[in-house]
Amino acid sequence: MNRKDLDPTSSPYAALGIQLRRSREARNLTQTELGEAISYSGAYISSVERGIRPPSRRFVEVVDAYLATGGTLALMLDQLEHSILIEGFPEYAEKEAEATAVRLFQIGVVSGLLQTADYATAYEQAFVRRGAVTQQQADERTRFLLARQERINRPSPPYVQAVLDEWSLRRPIGGSAVMVGQLAHLERLANQPNMTIQVAPLSLGENRPFAHPVTLLTMPNRSLLGYSETHQRGFLERDAETLADWAREYDRLQAEALPLAASLELIRVVRKGFESAP
Mean pLDDT, consecutive 10-residue stretches, the chain (278 aa), reads 56 82 93 95 91 86 91 79 68 83 94 95 93 81 81 79 96 96 97 94 88 92 91 84 95 95 97 92
Every domain of the chain and the residues it spans: 3-83, 89-275
The CATH number of domain 3-83, selected from 3.20.20.140, 1.10.260.40, 3.40.50.1370, 3.40.1410.10: 1.10.260.40
pLDDT value, residue 30: 94
103 in the Ramachandran plot: left (φ > 0), alpha (ψ -120 to 50) or beta?
Answer: beta
| Contact (Cβ atoms closer than 8 angstroms) between residue 199 and residue 267 | yes
Which string of DSSP letters, residue by residue, matches 134-173?
-HHHHHHHHHHHHHHHGGGGSSSPPEEEEEEEHHHHHS-T
How are the residues of the chain apportioned to helix, strand and coil, as percentages rounded to the nearest 5? Answer: 55, 15, 30
What is the Cα–Cα distance from 40 to 34, expressed in whole angstroms?
A: 8
| pLDDT at residue number 11 | 66
Task: Classify 198 as helix, strand or coil.
Answer: strand
Q: How far apart, in Å, are the Cα atoms of 153 and each of 31, 98, 218?
A: 24, 14, 18
Q: Kindly report the pTM of this predicted structure.
A: 0.72
**Level-2 CATH architecture, domain 89-275:** 2-Layer Sandwich (3.30)
Helical axes 14-26 vs 42-49, angle rounded to 10°:
120
What does the pLDDT read at residue 1? 42
* 202-141-250-252 Cα dihedral, nearest 10 degrees: 10
**Alpha carbon 113 to its chain's center:** 5
